[in-house]
Amino acid sequence: MAGKLEGRVALVSGSGRGIGREIALKLASEGARVVVNDLDVDPASETADAIRASGGRAVVCAGSVTETGFAERFVQTGVDSFGGLDIIVNNAGYTWDSVVQKMTDEQWQAIIDVHLTAPFKILRAAQPVIAARAKEEAAAGKEVFRKVVNISSIAGTGGNAGQINYSAAKAGILGLTRTMAKEWGRYKVNVNAVAFGPIRTRLTEGSAGGANKITVGNREIKVGVNPDLLSQMERMIPLGRVGTPEEAAGAVYLFCLPESNFISGQYVICGGGFTI
């Protein structure tokens, strides 16, 4: 039996690790052909290899989503490799936290760039491809729906102390989502967002004293949540635990299904009932 996304072409940014990897695997398991992206080529290749090992199709487009020209290269990889573009998941990102009085201009701009400016550039680069296909389909009397799923956070829906840059970017994604739903409705594109609550990834693993670190370019950034705070948060989640990357991917998948063809400009919180 063919999957729900058979033959669709999906771009998933930040899909070498964590939630992005699970999104790529989920879409591929339902028949989508996936362009896998990560800052580093090795994790991106590992995700693509896992898709191929399961009988799916995937190619790699490595690099930072904030690089000049990346958006155009990402879109063109999907067109050149698979002949089209049907699903875009703007997932890439990281956190670089601080309270407002200690946050540098660099820290602010880096997070705005990766979480808000990069999705804008990817969608802008995709517009000529999507518009051309939509016009061809309309002329042939066909109604073909495409999907954009942007990733937000409960930090964007309710704010979060110590994350003014991340919260602002994730709130901006919701405005971007609603605007693009209005602009691209004529192309039969559903544009929605998923706002994640606490999901267990390397960015949220318990870290006493900032022991967990990631490398972004030439920066080494402390990540992770204080174990006591994480435990307290878990007790506040109505479902009783932090979510898994697989469950997070499931929420994104819902907006990629044909059953969501009349849903656009919306966001859903994937947080086990927890909201800020």
Helix (H, G, I), strand (E, B) or coil at 1: coil
Q: What percent of the chain has pLDDT over 70?
A: 95
What is the residue-averaged pLDDT of the chain?
A: 94
Q: DSSP label at 117?
A: I
Distance CA(179)–CA(145), nearest Å, equals 18
Give the residue-averaged pLDDT of 82-98.
97
* pLDDT value of residue 95: 95
Residue 104: CB atoms within 10 A of its CB come to: 11
pLDDT in tens, 113-129: 999 999 999 999 999 99
Exactly one of 94, 166, 187, 267 is catalytic; which is it?
166
86: left (phi over 0), alpha (psi -120 to 50) or beta: alpha
94 is catalytic: no
Distance CA(56)–CA(64), nearest Å, equals 25
Between residues 34 and 233, which one has the greater pLDDT?
34
Statement: residue 165 has pLDDT above 60: yes
User: What contacts 33, CB < 8 A, 6 or more positions away?
Assistant: 7, 8, 9, 10, 56, 57, 58, 81, 82
Confidence band for 1, pLDDT divided at 50, 70 and 90? low
* pLDDT value of residue 275: 85
* pLDDT value of residue 156: 98
Statement: residue 211 has pLDDT above 60: no
**Share in percent of the chain as helix, strand, coil (round to 5):** 45, 20, 35
Q: DSSP label at 101?
A: G
Statement: residue 261 has pLDDT above 90: yes
Confidence band for 271, pLDDT divided at 50, 70 and 90? very high
Statement: residue 143 has pLDDT above 90: yes
Statement: residue 100 has pLDDT above 80: yes
* pLDDT value of residue 222: 76
* pLDDT value of residue 214: 79
Statement: residue 241 has pLDDT above 70: yes
Would you tell me which CATH number, out of the four given (3.40.50.720, 3.40.50.300, 3.90.1150.10, 3.40.30.10), belongs to the domain 9-197+244-270?
3.40.50.720
pLDDT in tens, 44-87: 999 999 999 999 999 999 999 999 999 999 999 999 999 999 99
Structure tokens at 25: 């695997």
* pLDDT value of residue 256: 98
| Cβ 89 vs Cβ 23: under 8 Å | yes
| Cβ 10 vs Cβ 35: under 8 Å | yes
Helix (H, G, I), strand (E, B) or coil at 131: helix
Between residues 232 and 44, which one has the greater pLDDT?
44
* pLDDT value of residue 206: 57
Give the residue-averaged pLDDT of 40-46.
98
CA dihedral over 51, 48, 254, 133, signed as positive or negative:
negative
